[in-house]
Structure 1
């Protein structure tokens, strides 16, 4: 197997993606939207408070909003970039040509995945100068900044892998995108509702002074990106989850384990099924 640094599929995809004006136009509008939001928030806060300075507590609120904006960008963009990587090749009837080359299935899948991940990482890094304005006003530590971006990368890689997997398993790009976005909504929204319902049922069924840990509730909280980010931005959320579930286990470890396994399984399935589906189509 050739090294990842000499993956022709990856190089081709990067050239095609970064030579497109659509990519840079999308990046331009994203940065403009971030700038408008940041400076608009600062202007409104200073105007309402009647002061000429920006408080560290207000800077933390701005950091929290920007973190969730970046999370939303990853959750809604990663599936769209990866859910059509293989199915679009199949629809254009260029996949058989790609499979006749000397590239292995892993090189094809990893090249398609990493090109999409690289574009989103570039988009996130392009917004770092705007994002880092919060350091000018205090209230944010560099570790908070680094931790948010590390977990954004984990989320990006996991949902990107899921998109490539569905693109390999499903022949139609539209159906693949629906399946990928459905999985994303389930993991990021439905798990939050299930966590709330689980905790309510636990409190209703709890009798006397007997307190039993809710491992299901803790698992649902651990795999939800919104709950994880809330625990990073507010330590009280992490303590509240542990108090409600009675499970003394950091949710960020459960998050890494779950999405690490999901990423590996999705890539393995995509690699295994890439040539199988092509044979069946013939």
Structure 2
């Protein structure tokens, strides 16, 4: 996954999917991670050749979704120091250094919530929202609606709900090997994960922020008969955030390809090893 106006798997405008079927969610700052209080699983191959770039264009909305479409057919002052920001020409921690500040106060369901009302909090929120929007839960209507209502502002969620339901049509799900309810065939495991690599604040004005999340993603069907094997992608998801009801909420988003590294020499694992890893390795709560 899906990190809002939508539809390319993380669209090119506000909040949707990009046309890459493996779009899961960039900047110069790296995040630190903290194990969550009981969340499940992760691990990566090459991203597949894109077949199309049009769901987001068709709906005119971009919600951070896991790039399944192509897969299917982010110094000076004390304030800066506390937020992890570093201004040109000043000294301080490196862009990839963790701030050490507690990232979040709680959770709304399985999604982290209660982020700090500062730049660091905005980055933490963007990273965790990218994970939620790039998850396999986005392919089921009920859980998708819950994610949209948690991650987006009320107004944005209301506008996205219908377009998102249309984007995740039975036909689209079928191209991914899923049934109309988003379920994988018996004996197979559908995988969709977003793994933030870093975050960067592009704009910040107290109650509003623009944060870029550089991420790598996994998406595909793991199974002996799968024609859509699990592949990886590299994307940058940029979210417009607004402080609302005591937390950061996404009001719009866009996505672009890369930066992408040169593929490594590690051979792709067999499907059963990928399925087992996803079941056994839990996820993270991300913080700046």
Fold shared by both chains (TM-score > 0.5): no
Going by fraction, where is helix more abundant, 1 or 2? Answer: 1
Q: Which structure has more RCO (C-alpha within 8 Å, separation ≥ 6)?
A: 2
TM-score of the superposed pair, with normalisation by structure 1: 0.27
Going by fraction, where is strand more abundant, 1 or 2? Answer: 2
TM-score of the superposed pair, with normalisation by structure 2: 0.27
Q: Based on CA coordinates, which of the two structures has the bigger radius of gyration? A: 1
